[in-house]
Structure 1
Amino acid sequence: MNVSQLEQELLQHVPRVDAEVWDRVGMIVGHPDDEVCGIAIALDACLETIQAAAAQHANVLLTHHPLYIDTPTQFVPQCRHASSAGSALCMAVQLGISVISLHTNLDRSREVRERMAGLLGLEAISSLEFPLDPGRNGFGTLAQTTPISIAELTAHTAQVFQTEPRVWGNPERSITHIAYMGGSLGHLEDMLAATPAELIITGEASYHVLQDLHYRGIDAILLGHDCSEMPFVNILQDMALSIVEDIPVVTIQGSKQWWTYQGV
């Protein structure tokens, strides 16, 4: 199987049409005709994961986050005065690594919806984007549960995602409808408010969006962008293993890139 064939098989699972129009999905850099000799899977396409892929003798790096959204102005080796995305692309070319990313098309997939609900011990009802059409791919997950307090849900979520969440809302508030949105909530508050969700588990959101949602009856558990999507690496691994035979598939489990001060 060559790199182009692998890309097409992956896009059968999560079609390009499901991605946002501004997104960078599929192969951003690489050699379409190269035979795939190994696949490394990571959350981010960056200098560190490209080096790790080469160290694992993989010539394909499969990620959720693409190398870039806005095209860098320079593609030069790593230095302080050039973007790391341009330097990472330069390194990928030097090392012969093809980079394939499945970003917002993966975000909209049934695989993400069901896997993330399952990790939390919930059953997905629908996406957040199309709550009245459960069979349709869409952003986020809407799930229902027996009554649980925000404090209890936060403790469970912290254990599942191995992080220290920031929380909006009364810890004692009891909720039954929970939403999940990996990465950044962005400005999707109106989409969220159109569902029965009482709380959103997400990676990050702005102060003003969170304040607005709180006043509209929707609280939030913030995991950190990367932590909220770490399970996507395993989803991509399963996808790759369903496609290839006799080709090594390895995961690069990145460490959390930030820390929380506990002194106050």
Structure 2
Amino acid sequence: MKGEEVLAILRQAAPEHYACAWDNVGLLVGSSKKEVKRIYLALDATDEVVEQAVSCGADLLVTHHPLIFSGLKRVTDEDFIGRRVQKLIAHDISYYAMHTSFDVSKMADLAAERLGFVAPQALEEMFEEDGETKGIGKIGNLAQEMTLASCAQFVKKAFEIPAVKVFGNPKQKVKRAAVCPGSGKSEIPFALQKGAEVLITGDIDHHDGIDAVAQGLCVIDAGHYGLEHIFVPYMKEYLDTRCRQVEVIMREDIFPFEVV
């Protein structure tokens, strides 16, 4: 399948103009002209992921988080990003990143669906397209009121994760919820503004957590990877149905850390 055709399908899933201005999405390494017979999918372009893409003979690596985030002044073997880029180029592997473009187009929807949100709406509204408000995160009602402790267990089951961190009284009842997969401390003001009783997100530090509770918002920190790993199986199914001539291989779901 022509590379340009595959990229067009990726852009249908997450239009690049949806991305936040500070982000770096799209084709970051390689050519759009090459033939694509095998795609490797992962959340991050780590050393291990790049090596697995090479080992399986991938023509295209697709990740959620971009390997190249800020501007590069040089590509050498003197830093880990340069080494990864060099390896991709040496093995003729093109590389495409779908970060906040995917967050806006699909990630929050997927998370809200797993949580069974009723009447979800954009949490941080960014723009309107075709009569629909697009943005970061979702806010809606849980199917039923529950304690914060029960909600934490519900989140663990919905995202198949072993542990979460909870800020707030475990016995407090919650129903109106916001979710922001990834790093969501910047969404706390939007969650408060829209009346959320609990925010489900990742990367919440001590002060953000206790300050949110002081303002009436409980927080369930399910981890950055914990909420965003849903990107990989979704994109596997998406590409399998649209790129039937291409073999799509997804990285095994391995958490990048352990709680011991």
Q: Which piece of structure 1 moves more, 164-173 or 8-17?
A: 8-17
Whether 1:84 aligns to 2:80 is yes
User: Is the 2:39–2:62 Cα contact (8 Å) retained in structure 1?
Assistant: yes
CA distance in 1 between counterparts of 2:90 and 2:119 reads 43
Contact kept in structure 1, 2:39 and 2:247, CA below 8 Å: yes
Q: Is the 8 A contact 2:119 2:140 kept in 1?
A: yes
| Structure 1 counterpart of 2:29 | 29
Aligned to 2:139: 142
Q: Indicate if the aligned counterparts of 1:124 and 1:141 stay in contact, CA closer than 8 A.
A: no
The answer to whether 1:181 aligns with 2:180 is yes
Q: Does 1:94 align with 2:93?
A: no
Richer in strand (by share): 2
Q: What does the per-residue CA deviation read over 1:91-140, in whole Å, with 9 as the maximum and x for residues that have no partner? A: 1111211111110010111x323321222233451110139x89322111
Q: Secondary structure of 1:137's partner?
A: strand
Alpha-carbon distance between aligned partners in 2 of 1:137 and 1:242, rounded to the nearest angstrom: 25
CA deviation digits over 1:154-202, x for unaligned, max 9? Answer: 1121233323111101110101111111110142322222212111111
**Among candidates 117, 120, 130, match of residue 125 of structure 2:** 130
TM-score, normalization: structure 1?
0.89
Distance 1:188 1:115, change over 3 A: closer
Give % identity.
26
Please show how residues 155-234 of structure 1 align to structure 2 within 5 Å.
Answer: 155-161=153-159, 162-234=161-233
Contact residue 47 and residue 84 of structure 2 kept, 8 A: yes
Deviates more, 1:218-227 or 1:118-127: 118-127
- 1:115 — aligned with what? 110
The normalised TM-score by structure 2 is 0.90
Cα RMSD for the two superposed structures: 2.1
Q: Structure 1: which 5+ residue stretches go unaligned?
A: none
Q: Does 1:54 align with 2:51?
A: no
Structure 2 unpaired stretches of 5+: none
Aligned residue pairs, count: 256
> Is the contact made by 1:16 and 1:105 (CA closer than 8 Å) also made in structure 2?
yes
Secondary structure of 1:152's match? helix
